[in-house]
């Protein structure tokens, strides 16, 4: 039952610690301890392996949890970002109201995310996926302003609508499944049942890709991201972008590779449409980010683009494409999580939200801007950061795929997107460290700049995420291979 302990402990701990009367410092210590214990339970569950069936819902349909390579890999990303965001929030949430409510839903969503990773079949996955949506909506709603409520409702409506499209695919894949419909690489469709119904199943698969892709910001279901991310507290934005949106990616992997089977979709119109949508989303997200002036909204549009890098890699339906997608999942988690936390520091300490107001910020926040720089280099794809390795592998998968028109179109889109990414991130770094004399102010060059650096509670998580992006740039392929990919 270690699986259920890993899922339920953060939920129970988050609620109990949040609503028991105690000093704030004591509460923070208990939150940190709860995150550490959750990470330990996840580690034990991963190492112990096995599976647990909670209920049999119908013939061939069960509520079942297990730990396979994909789930374990995803849990690594979940644990890293949730732990970093937890520590960071201790200082950030001092400027926000209802801190206890925030942490309660923070830990509830932590449990839901672990359940998503451990789900052993599409029915269990779908239920946990919906639970994740419902438990993360309050993080968007946190400020309870008119704008926050509107953003939370938009996130909810998009997510539920997308999940219903995904449910359409789940119905069909189970109807045409073998007696055992648990996840297996290569899928579990029964050839005898599917014969003559291939086009219907392909339509269901496409509906599932678009539906679950809603959480991942795939065009045309991307509209919730640039609305929800800017309004949520910075640590919540980091989670939404860095890991919650990736649940949509995991859903697509589970649906395509572990349910329908890559061979069933390879060479069909579904693969072509998937690749086209991914490339369109990459370019569109990058262009919108380049034009955006508000920092968190710029990062939200960037998320739309960057997550579709993962989807593009997966759409090649090859081992190399999967490897590149998983590498980018991890490198984007670390770099984009760090960028949102840096944006939170700018807001929390100086009240700065617009990119233009960040000129000269390097004198007051050198460490924070250095973290922003490292994460930006990874997102752009500069070696030896993780973003370079993942994009290299995705481009290699594209060229080696041999798909006419896409073998070279996809790398071209990746290159254009990388240039646009540099265009909307590097000016922040350059103007932050080298603003020019006109931005120096009236104090003169010799006047010391007043430090606005946050405490170690914020700096350590940001630094750790940059270090994680570097590790996945240096040893990312070895790590991915260690999980069986």
DSSP class per residue in 113-176:
HHHHHHB-BHHHHHHHHHHHHHHHHHHHHTT-SHHHHHHHHHHHHHHHHHHHHHHHHHHHHHHT
The two tokens of residue 205 are 């698969």
3-state helix, strand, coil in the chain (%, to 5): 75, 5, 20
Residue 63: beta bridge partners?
55
Give residue 55's pLDDT. Answer: 83
The percent of residues above 70 in pLDDT, for the chain, comes to 97
Whether 471 is covered by a domain: the verdict is: yes
Does this model's pTM top 0.85?
A: yes
Whether 339 is covered by a domain: the verdict is: yes
Burial class (CB within 10 angstroms; exposed 0-12, middle 13-18, buried 19+) of 107: buried
Give residue 288's pLDDT. Answer: 93
pLDDT at 365 over 60: yes
pLDDT at 165 over 60: yes
Whether 428 is covered by a domain: the verdict is: yes
Range 359-364 average pLDDT: 88
pLDDT in tens, 389-425: 999 999 999 999 888 888 889 899 999 999 999 999 9
pLDDT at 229 over 50: yes
Give the chain's domain count.
1
- Band (61; pLDDT cuts 50, 70, 90): confident
Whether 45 is covered by a domain: the verdict is: no
pLDDT at 325 over 80: yes
The two tokens of residue 142 are 């946190």
Higher-confidence residue: 445 or 357?
A: 357
- Nearest Cα neighbor of 48 from 74, 67, 71, 76 is 67
Dist CA 475 CA 397 (whole Å): 19
pLDDT in tens, 2-29: 888 899 999 999 999 998 888 889 999 9
Range 139-160 average pLDDT: 90
Question: Nearest 5°: CA angle at 387, between 215 and 396?
Answer: 95
Give residue 444's pLDDT. Answer: 42
Whether 81 is covered by a domain: the verdict is: no
Dist CA 135 CA 143 (whole Å): 16
Whether 297 is covered by a domain: the verdict is: yes
Range 313-325 average pLDDT: 94
Whether 184 is covered by a domain: the verdict is: no
Residue with tokens 């599932």: 208
Dist CA 164 CA 133 (whole Å): 13
pLDDT at 76 over 50: yes
Give residue 249's pLDDT. Answer: 95
Q: Residue 72 region, left (φ>0) first, then alpha (ψ -120 to 50), else beta? A: alpha
Whether 416 is covered by a domain: the verdict is: yes
Residue with tokens 């013939």: 59
What average pLDDT does the structure give for the chain? 90
pLDDT at 131 over 90: yes
- Write out the H or E segment, with its range, that includes residue 414: helix 406-433
Range 131-139 average pLDDT: 93
Give residue 309's pLDDT. Answer: 94
Structural domain span for residue 405:
291-441+449-485
């Amino acid at each position: 039952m270690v699986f259920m302990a890993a899922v339920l402990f953060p939920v129970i701990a988050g609620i109990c610690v949040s609503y028991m009367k105690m000093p704030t410092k004591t509460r923070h210590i208990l939150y940190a301890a709860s995150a550490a214990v959750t990470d330990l339970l996840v580690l034990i569950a991963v190492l112990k392996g096995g599976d647990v069936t909670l209920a049999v819902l119908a013939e061939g349909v069960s509520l079942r949890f297990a730990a396979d390579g994909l789930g374990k890999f995803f849990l690594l990303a979940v644990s890293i970002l949730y732990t970093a965001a937890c520590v960071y929030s201790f200082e950030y949430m001092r400027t926000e109201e209802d801190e206890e409510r925030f942490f309660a839903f923070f830990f509830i969503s932590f449990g839901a995310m672990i359940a998503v990773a451990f789900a052993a079949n599409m029915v269990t996955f779908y239920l946990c996926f919906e639970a994740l949506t419902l438990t993360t909506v309050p993080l968007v709603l946190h400020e309870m302003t008119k704008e926050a409520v509107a953003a939370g409702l938009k996130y909810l409506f998009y997510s539920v609508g997308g999940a219903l499209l995904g449910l359409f695919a789940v119905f069909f894949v189970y109807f045409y499944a073998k007696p055992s419909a648990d996840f297996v690489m290569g899928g579990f469709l029964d050839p005898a049942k599917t014969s003559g119904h291939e086009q219907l199943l392909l339509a269901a698969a496409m509906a599932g890709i678009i539906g679950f892709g809603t959480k991942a910001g795939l065009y045309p279901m991307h509209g919730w991201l640039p609305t929800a991310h800017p309004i949520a507290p910075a640590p919540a934005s980091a989670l939404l972008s860095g890991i919650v949106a990736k649940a949509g990616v995991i859903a697509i992997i589970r649906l395509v590779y572990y349910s329908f089977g890559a061979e069933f979709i390879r060479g069909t119109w579904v693969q072509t449409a998937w690749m086209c949508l991914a490339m369109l989303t990459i370019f569109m997200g990058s262009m919108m980010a380049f034009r955006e002036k508000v920092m968190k909204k710029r990062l939200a549009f960037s998320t739309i683009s960057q997550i579709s890098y993962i989807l593009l890699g997966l759409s090649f339906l090859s081992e190399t494409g999967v490897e590149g997608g998983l590498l980018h999942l991890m490198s984007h988690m670390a770099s984009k999580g760090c960028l949102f936390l840096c944006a939170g520091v700018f807001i929390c300490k100086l009240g700065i939200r617009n990119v233009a107001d960040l000129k000269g910020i390097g004198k007051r926040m050198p460490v924070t801007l250095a973290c922003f720089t490292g994460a930006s280099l990874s997102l752009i794809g500069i070696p030896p950061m993780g973003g370079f390795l993942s994009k290299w592998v995705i481009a290699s998968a594209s060229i080696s795929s041999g798909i006419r028109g896409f073998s070279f179109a996809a790398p071209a889109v990746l290159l254009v997107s990388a240039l646009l990414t540099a265009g909307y991130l590097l000016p922040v770094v350059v103007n932050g460290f080298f603003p020019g004399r006109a931005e120096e102010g009236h104090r003169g060059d010799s006047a010391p700049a007043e430090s606005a650096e946050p405490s170690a509670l914020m700096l350590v998580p940001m630094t750790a995420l940059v270090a994680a992006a570097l590790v996945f740039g240096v040893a990312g392929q070895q790590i991915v291979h260690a999980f069986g990919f």
